[in-house]
């Protein structure tokens, strides 16, 4: 069979497959369990997890399964990453049912992943609890073709062998903000399954494409599913969330909940709503929801346990969502330049806090950062606004700001000139009448 024929057949097959949503995505897809949890005391975590499992009615779900726990690891303050206490208590709770439970993640580079797993104490605590902890940079990768549902951004993905061969991935994200993408939750947490993730920032410069690619990872994992039940279960830590300059340099904000469900988009709809955001703003949520037949509407979810409206943090500080809307604006034309100014983020290095360690330079996927004499310099033309630099800076010296203030003079000029002509026109009109 020639490559062209094979390609056409694959396309036709995708079109046929896309007509129906695979059964596994319908399983409890609009059901979310919310359980109150005020702190990370092991006993309280255990009780909250037990309640989540009861509410979801999945006591037997773990039976005989090989399970991979996917935390959000980070080498920073405690409220920035998935607490290993949750991983340990979860393991204790399901170990009698499960066959084997391991954990794994990848952050920007192999070395940085080792650092994050160590500093977050995920490696130490999980290993002490009898779990193998993987740095996915060291894993063999398997190519997964995205077929059903059809891909949104990538035709195939390379996932760690341990993930493709396992029965269940328990996705353990943290509810927090992200300087480049506003929010990082359930769908985005699976980005840590790609050890080649840094290249993705380069190949998906448009934020909407990048977010669709994140959604593709969720479906790539499900593509390796051998059963008719979902392979991804999400339990989100929204006990102490992060607001402001996430994913690393923000401030802790108590929400006091664990959120669980099988559909990652459903978990994110609840998570982002608790941050007082509009989930329809986020392409990653829209993309997973659309392809699993889930309306991006919290009123259409069946939320068990706590009443979510009591937990919405009205003044939750979020990065500006305008940077995500840049893709929707015209790429060329008279207003494109000005519009870009209004919707882009600008990377700022705080010279007083910077230690010149060059972690940001090493982790910038676009090569937009360099050390020049005694400071770090940002090449704005190269920057893809991924905010990996902010995530890697050990000293909170990097922040993302909207270009808005820089664009303000343009706006004032436009308004001033328009007002001048309007007044001139009105005066001319009055004079002509008189
Ligand atoms: S990572 Fe932070 S501290 Fe290190 S050079 Fe970059 S800005 Fe400075
Ligand atoms: S400078 Fe920062 S935000 Fe810009 S591409 Fe590099 S890592 Fe990403």
| Ligand 1 contact, 376 CB (< 6 A) | yes
Q: Which ligand is nearest to the CA of 357?
A: 1
Q: How far apart, in Å, are the Cα atoms of 326 and each of 181, 250, 385? A: 12, 24, 11
The confidence band for 5, taking pLDDT boundaries of 50, 70 and 90, is low
Radius of gyration of the chain (CA): 23
Q: What percent of the chain has pLDDT over 70?
A: 89
Convert the pLDDT of each residue in 180-190 to its tens digit: 889 999 999 99
Give the residue from 178, 385, 152 showing the smallest Cα distance to 272.
178
Q: Give yes or no for residue 21 having a pLDDT over 80.
A: yes
- Per-residue pLDDT, averaged over 224-237, amounts to 96
Convert the pLDDT of each residue in 277-290 to its tens digit: 999 999 999 999 99
- Per-residue pLDDT, averaged over 238-259, amounts to 94
The confidence band for 322, taking pLDDT boundaries of 50, 70 and 90, is low
Taking residue 355's Cβ as centre, other Cβ atoms within 10 Å add up to 10
* Atom 8 of ligand 1, nearest CA residue: 354
pLDDT value, residue 349: 95
Angle between helices 207-223 and 283-292 (to 10 degrees): 40
pLDDT value, residue 231: 98
pLDDT value, residue 331: 66
Taking residue 366's Cβ as centre, other Cβ atoms within 10 Å add up to 18
CA 417 to ligand 1 centroid distance, Å:
42
Enumerate the β-bridge partners of residue 144.
157
Same fold, 21-311 and 329-410: no
Residue partners of 98: CB distance under 8 A and separation at least 6:
62, 63, 64, 65, 66, 67
| Ligand 1 contact, 355 CB (< 6 A) | yes
Q: Which ligand is nearest to the CA of 364?
A: 2
CA 240 to ligand 2 centroid distance, Å:
27
User: Which of the listed residues 374, 395, 400 should we mutate to test ligand 1's pocket, taking the one with most ligand atoms within 8 A of CB?
Assistant: 395
**Top-confidence residue, 128 or 8:** 128
Cα dihedral 194, 198, 201, 204, rounded to 10, equals -50
Q: State the alpha helices, DSSP H only, in 37-143.
A: 42-56, 84-94, 110-119, 122-128
- Per-residue pLDDT, averaged over 307-320, amounts to 94
| Ligand 1 contact, 397 CB (< 6 A) | yes
Asked which of 31-40, 115-124, 337-346 is least confident by mean pLDDT, the reply is 337-346
Taking residue 229's Cβ as centre, other Cβ atoms within 10 Å add up to 16
Q: Give yes or no for residue 130 having a pLDDT over 80.
A: yes
The confidence band for 9, taking pLDDT boundaries of 50, 70 and 90, is low
Helix (H, G, I), strand (E, B) or coil at 45: helix
Instruction: Determine the atom of ligand 2 nearest the C-alpha atom of 367.
Output: 6
Q: What percent of the chain has pLDDT over 90?
A: 71
CA 399 to ligand 2 centroid distance, Å:
11
Convert the pLDDT of each residue in 366-384 to its tens digit: 999 999 989 999 998 889 8
Instruction: Determine the atom of ligand 2 nearest the C-alpha atom of 366.
Output: 5
Asked which of 229-238, 340-349, 355-364, 373-382 is least confident by mean pLDDT, the reply is 340-349
**Top-confidence residue, 160 or 247:** 160
- Per-residue pLDDT, averaged over 397-411, amounts to 72
pLDDT value, residue 73: 95
Q: Give yes or no for residue 387 having a pLDDT over 60.
A: yes
Q: What is the mean pLDDT of the chain?
A: 91
pLDDT value, residue 13: 55
The confidence band for 128, taking pLDDT boundaries of 50, 70 and 90, is very high
Q: Give yes or no for residue 211 having a pLDDT over 70.
A: yes
Domain ranges within the chain, ordered by starting residue: 21-311, 329-410
pLDDT value, residue 400: 85
- In DSSP notation, 192-242 reads GG-TTHHHHHHH--SHHHHHHHHHHHHHHHHHT--SSS-SEEEEEEEEEEE
- Per-residue pLDDT, averaged over 136-141, amounts to 97
pLDDT value, residue 7: 64
Architecture of domain 329-410 in this structure: 2-Layer Sandwich (3.30)
Give the residue from 225, 292, 227, 283 showing the smallest Cα distance to 261.
292
* Atom 8 of ligand 2, nearest CA residue: 386
pLDDT value, residue 198: 87
Return the residue matching tokens 């009055």. 430
Model pTM score: 0.86
The confidence band for 20, taking pLDDT boundaries of 50, 70 and 90, is confident
| Ligand 1 contact, 404 CB (< 6 A) | no
21-311 carries CATH number 3.40.50: yes
The confidence band for 39, taking pLDDT boundaries of 50, 70 and 90, is very high
Q: Give yes or no for residue 155 having a pLDDT over 70.
A: yes
pLDDT value, residue 262: 98
Asked which of 6-15, 182-191, 252-261 is least confident by mean pLDDT, the reply is 6-15
């Amino acid at each position: 069979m020639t490559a062209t024929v094979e390609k056409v057949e694959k396309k036709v097959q995708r079109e046929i497959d896309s007509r129906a949503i695979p059964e596994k995505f319908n399983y409890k897809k609009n059901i979310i369990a919310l359980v109150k949890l005020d702190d990370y005391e092991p006993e309280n975590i255990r009780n909250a997890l037990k309640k989540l499992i009861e509410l979801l009615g999945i006591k037997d779900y773990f039976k005989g399964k090989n399970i991979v726990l996917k935390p959000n690891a980070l080498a920073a303050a405690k409220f920035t990453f998935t607490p290993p206490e949750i991983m340990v208590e979860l393991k204790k709770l399901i170990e009698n049912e499960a066959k084997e439970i391991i954990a794994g993640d990848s952050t920007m580079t192999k070395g940085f992943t080792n650092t994050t797993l160590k500093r977050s104490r995920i490696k130490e605590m999980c290993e002490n609890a009898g779990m193998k902890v993987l740095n996915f940079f060291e894993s063999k990768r398997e190519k997964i073709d995205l077929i059903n549902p059809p891909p949104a951004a990538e035709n195939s993905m390379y996932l760690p062998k341990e993930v493709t061969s396992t029965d269940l991935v328990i996705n353990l994200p943290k509810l927090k903000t992200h300087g480049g993408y506003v929010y990082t939750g359930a769908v985005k947490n699976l980005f840590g399954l790609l050890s080649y993730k840094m290249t993705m920032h380069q190949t998906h410069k448009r934020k909407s494409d990048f977010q669709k690619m994140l959604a593709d990872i969720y479906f790539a994992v499900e593509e390796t599913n051998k059963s008719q039940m979902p392979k991804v279960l999400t339990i989100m830590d929204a006990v102490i969330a992060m607001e402001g300059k996430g994913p690393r340099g923000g401030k802790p904000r108590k929400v006091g909940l664990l959120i669980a469900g099988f559909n990652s988009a459903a978990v994110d709809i609840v998570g982002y709503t608790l941050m007082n955001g509009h989930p329809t703003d986020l392409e990653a949520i829209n993309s997973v929801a659309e392809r699993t037949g889930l309306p991006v509407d919290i009123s259409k979810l069946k939320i068990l346990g706590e009443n979510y409206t009591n937990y919405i943090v009205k003044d939750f500080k979020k990065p500006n969502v305008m940077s995500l809307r840049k893709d929707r604006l015209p790429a060329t034309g008279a207003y494109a330049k000005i519009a870009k100014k209004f919707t882009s983020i600008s990377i700022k290095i705080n010279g007083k806090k910077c230690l010149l360690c060059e972690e940001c330079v090493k982790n910038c996927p676009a090569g937009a950062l360099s050390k020049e004499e005694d400071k770090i310099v940002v090449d704005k033309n190269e920057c893809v606004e991924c905010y990996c630099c902010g995530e890697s800076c050990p000293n909170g010296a990097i922040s993302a700001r909207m270009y808005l203030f820089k664009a303000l003079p343009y706006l004032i000029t436009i308004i001033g000139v328009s007002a001048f002509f309007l007044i001139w026109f009105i005066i001319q009109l009055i004079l002509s009448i008189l």
